[in-house]
Amino acid sequence: MRNQGLIDIGANITHPQLYNQLDKIIVNIENSNTKKVIITSSNLSDTKLALEIINKHPDIFYTTVGYHPHNAKDFLKENIKPIKDCAQDKNIIAIGECGLDYYREYSSKKEQEFCFEQQLIIAEDTTLPVFLHEREAHKDFVKILEQYINNISNAVVHCFTGNKDELSKYLDMGCYIGITGWISDIERGRHLHQLLKYIPIDRLMIETDSPYLTPKNLPFKNDGVNQPSYLSYVAETIAECLNKDIEFIINITSDNTKRFFSI
C-alpha cells in the first residue's frame, strides 16, 4: 500500500513559538512524513494570519475560522458575518476551534456557551464541519452539541483525552476523534491505549496540537516545542496500541481526514 503521508488536523502555527520560526518549521515539514497541515484558528486575527501563511505555502496548509472558548469573552454577534464571509474561502475548511473549557476559565461559562452555540449555528448555515474543543465541560458541551449535531455536516472532538463513557457519547453522536501526542505520555495518556480500540477506524484522525503536547517518544533531544513534523511519532504510538502497521495508520487517518474536510 502506498504511503500517502500524514495530515495534521490541528496545529497552532500562528502561535509565536511556531510563527517566529516559520521558515524552519516548514523545512521540517517538507523533510517529514507530514504532507498537509490544518492551522487551528482561535479568533479572527488567527484566521487572517493563517491565510497569509497559506498564500505563501498553498501546497501545505489549510485553516479554520472561529473562536476558542478561551477567547469567547471577545466574541460578539458582530463577529458572525465576518466568520461566515471567511467560510467562503476554499482554504478555510472548518468552523472552530470552538467548544467549552472549564479547566481554565479564561472566559465565563456563560460567554463560552453563547460563543459555542453561535458557531454551531454558523456551521449549520455554511455546511462546514466543526473542530471541537472540550475540557472538563463534558456534560454542558454535550447538552449544547446535541441540539445541533444532526444538522452539522461533520464534527471532530480534537485532542481527545477523556474516559470511556465520554468517548462512547461522542461516538454515539457521530463525532470523529482526534488523537495527539498525549497518547505517548505514559503518566497522563496510558488510559487512551485501551480506549483506542473502541474508536471506529474510519473515524480516527491525528494531530500534533503544536506547539503543545510534544510526543514523549521522540528519539532525539528537542526544545519542548512541538511541531507538525513530529506527527509520525503520534502515528507510531497509535500503531503500537492497535497492533497495526504504521503504514496502515498513516493511510487510514489520511483518508479519514480528506473525507471529513472534503480536501
| Interaxial angle between packed helices 138-145 and 164-172, expressed in degrees from 0 to 180 and rounded to the nearest 10 | 10
pLDDT beyond 50 at 1: no
- The residues, ordered by sequence, that sit 6+ positions from 94 with a Cβ below 8 Å of its Cβ are 38, 64, 65, 66, 128, 129, 130, 131, 261
pLDDT band at 233 (very low <50, low <70, confident <90, very high): very high
Q: Which residues contact 211 (CB under 8 A, 6 or more apart)?
A: 12, 15, 17, 18, 225, 226, 227
Question: What is the C-alpha to C-alpha distance for residues 111 and 114, in angstroms, rounded to an integer?
Answer: 5
- Closest to 71 in 3D by CA, of 7, 12, 121: 12
d(CA 23, CA 173): 40
Q: Residue 2 — very low, low, confident or very high, per pLDDT cuts 50/70/90?
A: low
- Domain ranges within the chain, ordered by starting residue: 6-261
Using CA atoms, how far apart are residues 104 and 184, in angstroms rounded to an integer? Answer: 23
Q: Rounded mean pLDDT of 37-56?
A: 98
Q: In the predicted model, is pLDDT for residue 155 greater than 70?
A: yes
pLDDT of residue 6: 98
* pLDDT (mean) for 236-262: 97
Give the separation between CA 228 and CA 33, rounded to whole angstroms: 9
- Is the separation of the CB atoms in 96 and 44 below 8 Å? no
Give me the mean pLDDT over the 96-100 stretch: 98
Please write the tens of the pLDDT for every residue from 103-114.
988 999 999 999
Distances (CA, A) of 22 to 14, 26, 30, 225: 9, 6, 12, 13
| DSSP letters for 182-196 | GGG-HHHHHHHHHHG
96 backbone dihedrals φ, ψ, rounded to 5°:
140, -175
d(CA 134, CA 94): 16
pLDDT tens figures, 163-181: 999 999 999 999 999 999 9
Residue 219 burial by CB count (10 A; 0-12/13-18/19+): exposed, middle or buried? exposed
Backbone angles phi, psi at 239, to 5 degrees: -60, -40
| Strand 130-135 versus strand 92-101 pairing type | parallel
Mean pLDDT of 82-102: 98
Q: Does position 217 have pLDDT exceeding 90, yes or no?
A: yes
Give the model's pLDDT for residue 4: 81
Confidence at residue 3, expressed as pLDDT on a 0 to 100 scale: 67
Share of the chain above pLDDT 90, in %: 98
Domain 6-261 has CATH 3.30.300.30: no
10 and 209 Cβ atoms separated by less than 8 Å:
yes
Give residue 211's pLDDT band: very low, low, confident or very high (50, 70, 90).
very high
Using a cut of 0.75, tell me whether the model's pTM lies above it. Answer: yes
